[in-house]
Amino acid sequence: MKRSLSFITGLLVMFAMLAATTAAVEKGPDALVKELYGAWVSKARAQKSELQKDPKKLYLLADEITAPYIDYNRFSRLVLGKHWRNASKTQRSRFEHEFRHHLVRTYATALLTYIDADFKFIPSKYKESDKQVLVKTETRPKGGGPKISVNYILYKKEGAWQAMDVAIEGISIVATLRSIVRSEVQNKSLDAVIEELAAKNREAGL
């Protein structure tokens, strides 16, 4: 079943935020995912009407909340892959900057759209000795519709759980974004992709 890229990217921020949060807080992986979702919902619902009227404020709020928790350099490297290795220092810096704003615009809109969706957290089965854990959740859009499986893949690093990917209906977010961006770079050029991102960001006031 075809899924919206904006929804996929919206959930990307949840695992990205989780990646940093887990480095400082030692909790079970399923408890961390649930806590993160609850934190976002409480903040966004309190300002929902205002954020819907002012997209720029939505973008700025989302960036303010998530910036400390997202390693944009890492995501940029993963998404570009071999193109990152071949890029100049300036191209890397520009791509990371524009890609960050692109993600902010996309995930902020997606998460606000799904703010009233029902999320079900399925208890994880894992042992303390496990190095990698799958945290399963399900979401159903407000008003009904088919449920969507959203599974977080976490791994243990230096005693703390960190997220490494999210799978939507079995589709990896990292792999999806990598495929889309790499295809654009191959069909055009890295500079062209960067400029397109920059133009859209400027239109959004970022």
Give the pLDDT score at 95: 95
CA 18 to chain centre: 10
Q: How many CA atoms lie within 13 A of 132 on its CB side?
A: 5
**What percent of the chain has pLDDT above 90?**
17
Tally the domains of the chain: 1
Bridge partners, residue 137, by sequence: 121, 150
Task: Quote the domain boundaries for residue 9.
Answer: 5-203
pLDDT higher than threshold 60 for residue 21: no
User: pLDDT tens-digit profile of 46-65?
Assistant: 888 888 888 888 888 777 76
| 123 torsion bin: left (phi>0), alpha (psi -120 to 50), beta (else) | beta
CATH number of the domain to which 156 belongs:
3.10.450.710
Query: Which position has the higher pLDDT, 36 or 203?
Result: 203
